Amino acid sequence: MVMERIQAGEGLLCHLIGQVRPDLARHIKETGEIETIVIGLGAQGTRHAGLMQEFGTLVKAAVAPGRGGTRVHETIPVYDTVAECLEEHPHIAAASVWRHYATAKEATIEAIEAGIPFIALITEGIPLRDMRDIIVAARKNRTILIGGNSPGAIFPPERVKIGMLPDVFYPEEPSPGRLGPKGVTIISRSGAILYHLSDALASAGIAQNGVIGIGGDAAIGSTFVDLVPLAMSHPHTDLVVIAGEIGGIQEERLAEDILEHKERYPKPLVALISGAHAPAGKTMGHAGAIVAPGQAYGTFHSKKEALERAGVTVVNSQYDLIEAVKGKLKRRYFDTGRYYEKMRTIWEAKPKPPSWGTLITKIEPNNILISGYPLQQLIGRKSLLEVAHLLLRGELPSAKALEELEAAALEGIKAPGPAIRRLGEEDLSKALARALLLDEHLASFPQEGARGPALKTAFALGRVGRYLSAILGTAPALEGLSNEASFTEAIYRTITGEMRLDPERARLIEAMAVASVDHGVTPPSAQATLILASTRAAYEVAVAAGVGAITDVHGGAGAKAAQFFKECVARSRRDGLELEEAAKGLIAEYIKAGRRIEGLGHRIHTQDPRRDALWRLAAAAGVAGENVAASKVVTRAFRQVRGLDLPINVDGVIGAIVADLGLDPLIAKALFIWGRVAGLSAHYFEEVASQPEMRRINFEQAVYKGPPERKVP
């Protein structure tokens, strides 16, 4: 049973954040996103990071010293410090802290001083003097701190969970599937009691717009006096329930504040107090749940009397709580059958089939998503370096980041390369793989830090340009390349050998490389790179393995397609035939000779999504000639000769354009490899960052976990 969510700006969590960081609350209302982080990745922090994410929480990142640059649950980037995290994700609104009690102080104060407005301190047993320093920092920065020893908080209408609370809550549902922000806010000292009374209220049709566990330790960041007025100031909170217990004086202090500042408590309040029959001096599970012998505070009766004197309804059972809340609200927020249906769905859910995740590319029939962006929309609109950054980082680069990528790529293409040449008719991929393995510059280029992988990939793309220029004999064209030149110009000079830039043709040539960047984890080149990455082979070794797998069987179709189209055009001219007739005759000869016609058909796409984008660019550049025209009729010609419908694929289109550019057919394969190095790099770094070493990789079990489809800016 999948539930939608309300607009984040309407919910209680955004309201609480607005009390501390109005600027961040405005950002939440504009974007509709509440970004959270997890601090501490022990067994519990790691487990609950995944459960929070499954609930619907936007867990933007995690912080764990010594694990920066990795990913947890395949999708959550990890940083060494909160400061590093906020450099990349400046709009973090909430954090949960799961560090050991010996290091929780430093981690929590770092998050507080970084300006994160809502923090759930899950750790229990923090030394009192450490907790004192944490509370001082929180009050100085006006941070809403719950805990230590807090189960966290959950906001059902927004589908945001910060901590370990189970999903036993239900939001307002004016009509099936349409949620609302109204309901009861629950604030509890005990996690276990909180779960039970929340389930009890939901079973009676009473919605919760927020459930907050303030923590059971003796010293905690926020008390009832701090939080109840904040909850009551939220326009969509109709009533507040507090779950108290014996020990301490929180409930008595709340009663005093109600009497002294009634204006802060404009809404109904119901209190459930546990421990009515606890013996004096007996600890009841929490450090704060102990009655001091002979004292007139901290007992069940002292709390009940104080709260009732302040006009608060006090109950001691779930049944009485339900009746009291129903009596004050006189309404239901949803059909209780919907709650039972939800819980039955959870209980009866079958185990998920084995899978593993990738954020890079989603392949579906006639569509290719690169981190959510359709590849066909990127072709011609974004440069190879921009798409490489997208593959590596999940977002297109800023202007500054693109400058850094350009500098790294130009450094790579200008630096001396290993002496390389093709040995006779040696496969181009083998020659390039050999160069990658021998390149000391590439091996020593740093790849550490958040930007390291993208910069190393840009440098590697530059190195491939250096190798290709040696093989193609175009190295002289690179000698005059200035430091201010773009990598697009470097690609153009490498491929054509021309020093004068033709912007439209340069755009077209680069677009063919962009069209080839990636096709998911199942192509042989990606599999080879991933297997070596799993063994933690060096970057250049793993990428070289992937490049070496790009043989004539995989990735070589473009060169052969270029040759085929050139033969079609030559026959059309020689025999005075229409291109389609010439194609039909040549196809018949190929079939009779048992030769394969490259550039046709695809195992997934019935219409390759990259096809039309490249055809349009070729026409815009004034390049689309007879070979491109032949590529547009070859599918129909093949159907008439062979009776099979094989649509032209991206290799065929690239081959036709390369032929019309008057370039060596080998250029089609060179562009495929050049673009694919970006994708192989992304797969390498993702495997190292997010997967265990030496895993058994079932490539068919890969699941895309990146952003949904979105428009290219």
Distance CA 355, CA 369 (A): 19
Average pLDDT, the chain: 93
Instruction: Judge contact between 47 and 53, C-beta under 8 A.
Output: no
Reported confidence tier of residue 596, pLDDT bands at 50, 70, 90: confident
Average pLDDT, stretch 66-79? 95
Q: Is the pLDDT of residue 484 over 90?
A: no
219, 330, 393, 440 from 455: Cα distances, Å:
47, 62, 11, 16
- Segments of the chain assigned to CATH 1.10.230.10: 557-660
Average pLDDT over residues 432-442: 95
pLDDT band at 15 (very low <50, low <70, confident <90, very high): very high
β-bridge mates for residue 210, sequence order: 185
pTM of the model: 0.88
Q: What is the pLDDT of residue 158?
A: 96
pLDDT of residue 424: 78
Please tell me the predicted confidence (pLDDT) of residue 321: 94
SS3 readout for 77-114: EEECCHHHHHHHCCCEEEEEECCCCCCHHHHHHHHHHC
Among the listed ranges 28-32, 332-336, 480-484, 684-688, which one has the minimum average pLDDT value? 480-484
**Percent of the chain whose pLDDT exceeds 90:** 81
Confidence of residue 694 (pLDDT cuts 50, 70, 90): very high
Looking at the chain, which residues constitute the CATH 1.10.580.10 domain(s)? 371-551+670-693
> Looking at residue 291, what is its pLDDT?
47
Instruction: Report residue 585 as tokens.
Output: 């005759």
Report the pLDDT value the prediction gives residue 419, as an integer from 0 to 100.
Answer: 78
CATH number, domain 371-551+670-693, options 1.10.580.10, 3.30.1330.10, 2.60.40.10, 2.10.109.10: 1.10.580.10
pLDDT score recorded for residue 132: 97
Helix, strand, coil percentages (3-state) for the chain, rounded to 5, are: 50, 15, 40
pLDDT at residue number 298? 74
Average pLDDT estimate for 311-328:
93
Whether residue 131 has pLDDT greater than 70: yes
Q: In this structure, are residues 52 and 36 in contact, taking their beta carbons and an 8 Å threshold?
A: yes
**How confident is the model over 413-441, as a mean pLDDT?**
89
Q: How confident is the model at residue 597, as a pLDDT?
A: 84
Catalytic residue set: 286
Query: How large is the average pLDDT for residues 30-48?
Result: 97
Query: Given its phi and psi angles, is residue 66 left (phi above 0), alpha (psi -120 to 50 degrees) or beta?
Result: left
Residues of the chain with CATH 3.40.50.261: 8-347
Beta-strand runs (E) in 399-526? none
d(CA 454, CA 614): 26
Lowest-pLDDT choice from 239-253, 286-300, 464-478, 682-696? 286-300
Does position 1 have pLDDT exceeding 60, yes or no?
no
The string over 633-645, giving b where at least 16 C-beta atoms fall within 10 Å of a residue's C-beta and e elsewhere, is bbbebbeebbeee
The predicted pLDDT at position 279 comes to 63
Mean predicted confidence (pLDDT) in 468-484: 91
Q: pLDDT confidence of 288, banded at 50, 70, 90?
A: low
**Average confidence (pLDDT) over 332-342:** 92
Q: Which amino acid is at 426?
A: E
Within 13 A of 156's CA, how many CA atoms are on the CB side?
Answer: 31
User: Which conformational region is residue 568 in: left (phi greater than 0), alpha (psi within -120 to 50 degrees), or beta?
Assistant: alpha
Q: Which residue has better confidence, 349 or 408?
A: 408
Cβ-contact 179, 221 below 8 angstroms: no
Residue 2 is predicted with a pLDDT of: 56
Residues paired with residue 76 on neighbouring β-strands, in sequence order: 72
Residue among 460, 495, 536 nearest 671 (CA): 495
pLDDT at residue 276 above 80? no
Per-residue pLDDT for 295 more than 80?
no
Q: Is the domain defined by 8-347 classed in CATH 3.40.50.261? A: yes
CB atoms within 10 A of CB 657: 31
Name the residue with higher pLDDT: 409 or 303.
Answer: 409
pLDDT in tens, 144-174: 999 999 999 999 999 999 999 988 999 999 9
| Range in 350-364, 413-427, 536-550, 560-574 the model is least confident about | 413-427
Secondary structure (3-state) at 265: coil
Determine the CATH number of domain 557-660: 1.10.230.10
Is residue 481 very low, low, confident or very high in pLDDT (cuts 50, 70, 90)? confident
